[in-house]
Structure 1
Amino acid sequence: MDDEFAKLIRRINPPRVVIDNDSCEDATVIQVDRINKHGILLEVVQVLTDLNLVIKKAYISSDGGWFMDVFNVVDCEGKKITDGELISYIQKKLESDDGFVPSLKGMVGLVPSEEHTSIELAGTDRPGLLSEVCAVLANLDCNVVNAEIWTHNARAAAVVHVTDNTTGCAIKDPKRLALIKELLCNVLKGNNDLKTAKMSLSPPGVTHRERRLHQIMFDNRDYEKIEESEGGRVQNNSCKPHVIVSDCNEKHYTVITMRSKDRPKLLFDIVCTLTDMQYVVFHGVVHTGRMEAYQEFYIRHIDGVPMRSEAERERVMQCLEAAIERRGSEGLELELCAEDRIGLLSDITRVFRENSLCIKRAEISTKGGKAKDTFYVTDVTGNPVDPKIVDSIRRQIQQGILQVKLNSNPITKPQEENTISFLLGNFFKCRTLPNFLIKSYS
């Protein structure tokens, strides 16, 4: 009966998405109105981030069984969305109940696992780990077509898509898959890491790679600090995110406020973590400046209650700090463009290892016979890379072109709290829920 009633409500009030380029001078405004359900905020944010759109502002409200969000977005160049086909795709995707909308010229959508073998890795990070993993795959005639690697708090996680080098298809032979698993696990256990080292195959179907990385890191408890020797590393605490968890007793919410360095996909990372931890965002505001992002959310656990203990608050703070930091572009950004071939990634990562570079994060992609790989690297102590080493690596790598994109270790001083802070808190103090509306500011 509940399912049939929900279907009736959807027919009476179908999802509605309005995309407006006139009301805001410097951004496209996307308003989403639809029936509320757990995870709907993540679904919407995921659609926008998968299109490489940057969310500059957001206003969230989902009380009373109805979901209403307003997003101010720009493209990766900071411009409004003007492409008619892209606007139509966004509207259809966000209004779709089943989530199925044909991809837009191949730029959106996840590759079904039948076209490749998706390998998930987790373990303790160490210098040269990615190089060893890539060497094993190359020796087993596995071609890496796409991959993403994250490291955080001395943990490492990766989702790697491979094909058979001979057939160009997914690897399905159980004996060969067992051998791949055995050898990769041996690499991950190189430091006697018997507890956290894991290698598994993604389940059949479609997997969202970045969400899986968050889940793998969370399962690996990367939010827990590991004491380690810094080896002369210069600490920069000014770039650390600031997360505060407090109570809104009047409305029985837990309030989370966050200040951090702004970057692409920041909102996705935070909402992904809250959703996987079984929390629901009822109201929220997101505001980004030139360097800093401010976010405030009013949440409850999925069972309808706010946080009850100090231990729970502390754990949520740790997990949100980890979610913000995981994708933080630590180190020097290097981009490699070259003709793809079997073993290319193994050769590149070996050169990095031989020159004492640590890969903190990497994004690997191939398309049309071309490899485009992005690496974020530091030296073995975690400090900035000597430019002479980069020049040396360029001379050693003859297969492609290695470019230095940027050094992503800026020091940003947190701004003083301004009128945006506790914006929704002020609203809640002077409004009751039935009269509460979130206004779109431009």
Structure 2
Amino acid sequence: MDMGYSSYVNPELESLVDRIHPPRVCIDNDSYQDCTLVKVDSANKHGILLATVQALTDLDLVISKSYICSDGRWFMDVFHVTDQLGNKIIDKNVIHYIQQSICASRRGRTQVKTNSMFKEIKQNHTSSSSSLSSSSSSSMEHMTLEMTTTDRPGLLSEISAVLAELQCHVSAAVVWTHNTRAAFIIHVHDDSNHGTTIMDPHRADRVQAKLLTVVNARHSSSERPSVRFTSPVGEQTHTERRLHQLMMDDKDYQEAVTCSSSLHDKRYEIIVTVENCREKGYSVLNVTSPDRPKLLFDTVCALTDLQYVVFHATVCSKGSVAFQEYYIRNKDGHMLNTTIQREAIIRSIIAAVERRVSHGLRLDVRSRNRSGLLSDVTRVFRENGLSVARAEIGIHGEKAVGSFHVKDVGGHDADPSNVESVKKEIEKFGGAVLVSKGSYNSSSHGNNNTEEDHSRTSLRTLFWSQLERISNKFQSLNS
């Protein structure tokens, strides 16, 4: 017999508990020589685990181990963390931000209030020589574009060409692809002198219609592209979580499942199992996969958006392999009792782990920021037979920086001669390209870092701090 456990908490009682027992965050640098302990003690609330993990990963902190307990009305968690270079967290500003951001997340405050502190700490934490300029985004009206569609070679080039033609300047963007699907979050501002802003509903509708025409051009009637604009009002879902949601809504997880309780994907060595512990009323989810940055964040994103509550969990890594064990129930208090439920969570967890895995070469591009730059860069990729599998683009002062994971149009490793041609073409219009292997294919968290590794980390940090600053101001305009 399945046991149900009610998860409802009266909001007034919850608020009272928060006031009587506010969240406590303890930073311990004495217990271990090789890592910092972040201890969180708080009244429980659905989503608190994700908010806590999000606060840590937003600072590019590496979580090597975690012990989670949220049974009953209380949440207690211990994280073993280091920076990207494998060092303990000793910067007092970073420590203060960790404490403040976790407490703010628990109390439901908007992240916008801590953005200035976040930007400064991200800059100092990564030893970047300069901070992201906010002038371009603070002085201009922005909108954001969310898209999901079937992936194909040259897709980003076609989309960016349309935006350039319609005089929509891309100030930040992120692209994920997985299982033949693609998801885009692109922030644009007006680049015309026609008297209409990018926030004008009629102009937004025209841009949206044009993009739909492009993505529909090669679609069959059974495919499901989605294009919508959102406007800068109010609080918005965390950008990376939103990407997970877009791809999940687009059903990128759909594939054959060979077993109702486990699935082994040989390409990525991911093993997911689900069993029921009936005497305790829990379902036990085990995930074994290659270790990589932000793995815990991605898994907890999937569990939270699938409406599962984590009551106990242990996360650790041994060498290049990560082990995650979660004791969960549905938000309605029940275990996963049907084959359909178990297969659905297995697919979703595997997809969440796979989405961030990148293949092929990573090209870090830096150039003077100007109108149509993204269109020019991606056109060079397309003309030289390179397809973009993942991308992150942002603005750094007067410069635009972008990280592109590329392969050939057949999905294989890029030809070195084509990469050299791309470098030469981009250098012609004042850009520079740094070539490296996919940063998330390696199991290393940065303990064997080189100057090149640190450069890649800084570029990634510059992008995310800009993108998060913008995206926290967006909410739906067109459904």
- Secondary structure in 2 matching 1:206: coil
- Are residues 1:148 and 2:160 paired? no
- Are residues 1:404 and 2:435 paired? yes
- Are residues 1:29 and 2:29 paired? no
The aligned counterpart of 1:306 is 335
Alpha-carbon distance in 1 for matches of 2:440, 2:326 = 28
- Are residues 1:200 and 2:231 paired? no
Q: Deviations over 1:343-379 (max 9, x none)?
A: 1110111111111111111001112111110011111
- Are residues 1:2 and 2:10 paired? yes
Equivalent position amino acid for 2:268 in 1: C
User: C-alpha displacement at 1:394, in angstroms?
Assistant: 1.0
Q: Deviations over 1:283-337 (max 9, x none)?
A: 0011123322111101000000000101110111011000000011222111001
Alpha-carbon distance in 1 for matches of 2:342, 2:277 = 14
The aligned counterpart of 1:218 is 248
User: C-alpha displacement at 1:35, in angstroms?
Assistant: 0.6
The aligned counterpart of 2:218 is 191
TM-score of the pair, normalised by structure 2: 0.80
User: C-alpha displacement at 1:276, in angstroms?
Assistant: 0.6
- Secondary structure in 2 matching 1:95: helix
CA gap of 1:284–1:386, structure 2 versus 1, over 3 A, is: same
User: C-alpha displacement at 1:6, in angstroms?
Assistant: 2.2
Alpha-carbon distance in 2 for matches of 1:152, 1:139 = 28
Alpha-carbon distance in 2 for matches of 1:132, 1:368 = 26
Q: Deviations over 1:218-274 (max 9, x none)?
A: 010000139xxxxxxxxx935231111111122111111111111111111111111
Whether the 8 Å CA contact 1:115–1:169 is kept in 2: the answer is: no
Alpha-carbon distance in 2 for matches of 1:164, 1:411 = 39
Alpha-carbon distance in 1 for matches of 2:138, 2:312 = 34
User: C-alpha displacement at 1:98, in angstroms?
Assistant: 3.1
Equivalent position amino acid for 2:100 in 1: K
- Secondary structure in 2 matching 1:158: strand
Q: Deviations over 1:123-159 (max 9, x none)?
A: 1111111000000001111111111000000001000
User: C-alpha displacement at 1:5, in angstroms?
Assistant: 2.4
- Are residues 1:92 and 2:92 paired? no
Whether the 8 Å CA contact 1:19–1:31 is kept in 2: the answer is: yes
- Secondary structure in 2 matching 1:102: helix
Higher relative contact order (CA 8 A, sep 6+): 2
Equivalent position amino acid for 2:344 in 1: R
Equivalent position amino acid for 1:186 in 2: T
User: C-alpha displacement at 1:190, in angstroms?
Assistant: 2.2
CA gap of 1:113–1:218, structure 2 versus 1, over 3 A, is: farther
User: C-alpha displacement at 1:4, in angstroms?
Assistant: 3.0
Alignment partner for residue 349 of structure 1, among 373, 378, 381? 378
- Are residues 1:258 and 2:287 paired? yes
- Are residues 1:73 and 2:81 paired? yes
CA gap of 1:409–1:18, structure 2 versus 1, over 3 A, is: closer
RMSD: 2.4
Q: Which moved more, 1:38-47 or 1:217-226?
A: 217-226
The aligned counterpart of 2:183 is 157
- Are residues 1:54 and 2:84 paired? no
Equivalent position amino acid for 1:89 in 2: Y
User: C-alpha displacement at 1:166, in angstroms?
Assistant: 4.4
Alpha-carbon distance in 2 for matches of 1:181, 1:164 = 14
CA gap of 1:353–1:247, structure 2 versus 1, over 3 A, is: same
* Percent identity over paired residues: 46
- Are residues 1:276 and 2:302 paired? no
Alpha-carbon distance in 1 for matches of 2:290, 2:197 = 39
TM-score of the pair, normalised by structure 1: 0.86
Whether the 8 Å CA contact 1:114–1:170 is kept in 2: the answer is: no
Alpha-carbon distance in 1 for matches of 2:31, 2:425 = 53
Equivalent position amino acid for 2:198 in 1: I
CA gap of 1:114–1:370, structure 2 versus 1, over 3 A, is: closer
- Secondary structure in 2 matching 1:341: coil
Would you say how many aligned residue pairs link Structure 1 and Structure 2? 403
The aligned counterpart of 1:122 is 148
- Secondary structure in 2 matching 1:202: strand
Unaligned ranges ≥5, structure 2: 1-8, 123-133, 257-264, 444-479
CA gap of 1:409–1:305, structure 2 versus 1, over 3 A, is: closer
Alpha-carbon distance in 1 for matches of 2:138, 2:99 = 23
CA gap of 1:407–1:158, structure 2 versus 1, over 3 A, is: closer
Whether the 8 Å CA contact 2:141–2:198 is kept in 1: the answer is: no
Alpha-carbon distance in 1 for matches of 2:73, 2:355 = 33
